[in-house]
A = this chain, B = another copy of it.
Amino acid sequence: MSAIKLAFNSWPMSRNLFNYARSNVNKVKYQSTKSGGLVLIDVNDKTGYALVTLNSPPVNSLNLELLTAFSNALDEVKNNKSKGMILTSSSPTVFTAGLDINEMYKPDYARARKFWSSLQDCWLKLYGSSFPTAAAINGHSPAGGCLFAMCCEYRVMLPKYTIGLNETKLGIVAPAWFMASMKNTIPIRKAEMALTLGTLFSTEEALKLGLVDEIAKDKAEAIAKCEAFLKRYEKIPQMARGATKQLYRQQDIKELESSRGADVELFITTIKNDKIQTSLGRYIAFLKWKKRLKPLIQFVSYVTRLVKPQKKKKTTTT
């Protein structure tokens, strides 16, 4: 199989991307296209692994378009019979910022239903994939980002970022299937506290907790470590491996599959709540304010570093 590059989004794929891809056959290995679709797929022809890159700048906010593109990408990886998948991001600092709050704040409800349904699609396809999956978490990974990372079978994360299901902090409740993925990853008591506190763990805390498996110094090393994980399945018959994983996760999958409609309506009811709308509104205002103040914060931070010799890291444990 030759190195193919496919981009999925809700619009037609750009010609440019394909040209780029063709010109780099046999040269690039997992090098993300500079422009193009919302989700990029690079299949390494030597390993047979698909590198799937979330590519919706600046922070891969999971909106309807990105989720649809990701859902399609997961189909493609399955249909191409890739031997494994590595999920990463084209952003230098964010894996994904999680669900796009704009899909929840004063939404068009028809679109909001599609949005939630496409999130279900992604979870069902990723958590229930027969092919092995690993996440190269090359930036912050809150909420939906943590969810997708936990759906994978292995997680390698870059230092000094954060990961966690922080929904309660925004006044919302992570659904039961979010919880299921976390229960499948870390000890049950730790999961309960992480969920109620909405804890965002530092990379180092996440490693200690088992929420990530390894730390890598940069994206290339993270991808290499994911490849090393996938390589462990090289001699395992694929059909048996995939069926074993699916049987292991079967109960969680079944529970969402049997309640998709109700789960969508629960989401709609939730976002119709006044208090939640107020909370989301405030958060959006905060994000805008933060963005505007960013240059000032960076300047203060710069000056502070010049003055103070070495700031001690504050660690929080759960």
Contact = CB atoms under 8 A, between A and B. Distances in A.
Interface of A: 132, 153, 167-176, 179, 183-189, 191-193, 195-198, 210, 232-233, 235-237, 239-241, 243-245, 247-250, 275, 279
Given A240-B173, A244-B195, A185 B189 contact: yes
B236 A173 contact: no
A183 B175 CA distance: 21
Contact of A197 (B187, B192, B233): B233
Given A172-B240, A195-B245, A197-B236, 10 more contacts: A153-B193, A168-B236, A173-B240, A176-B247, A179-B248, A186-B189, A187-B210, A192-B245, A192-B248, A196-B233
A168 B279 contact: no
8 contacts: A167-B244, A168-B237, A169-B237, A171-B237, A176-B250, A184-B189, A195-B248, A196-B241
Q: How many copies does the complex hold?
A: 3
A132 to B, nearest CB: 7
B192 A184 contact: yes
Chain B CB within 10 Å, residue with most, of A168, A191, A198: A168
A197 B174 CA distance: 30
Given A153-B192, A279-B237, A173 B244 contact: yes
Contacts of A179: 247-248
Contacts of A171: 237, 239-240
Contact of A173 (B198, B210, B232, B247): B247
A176 to B, nearest CB: 6
A241 B168 contact: yes
Chain B CB within 10 Å, residue with most, of A197, A244, A245: A244
Contacts of A184: 188-189, 192
A168 B237 CA distance: 7
A262 to B, nearest CB: 14
A145 B167 CA distance: 33
Contacts of A239: 171, 275
B153 A245 contact: no
Nearest to A193: B153
A210 B196 contact: no
A186 B188 CA distance: 8
A175 B250 CA distance: 12
Given A171-B239, A185-B189, A196 B244 contact: yes
Contacts of A236: 168-169, 196-198
A101 to B, nearest CB: 15
Contacts of A170: 237, 240
Contacts of A168: 236-237, 240-241, 244
A167 B243 CA distance: 11
A135 to B, nearest CB: 14
Contacts of A175: 247
Contacts of A237: 168-171, 275, 279
A193 B155 CA distance: 13
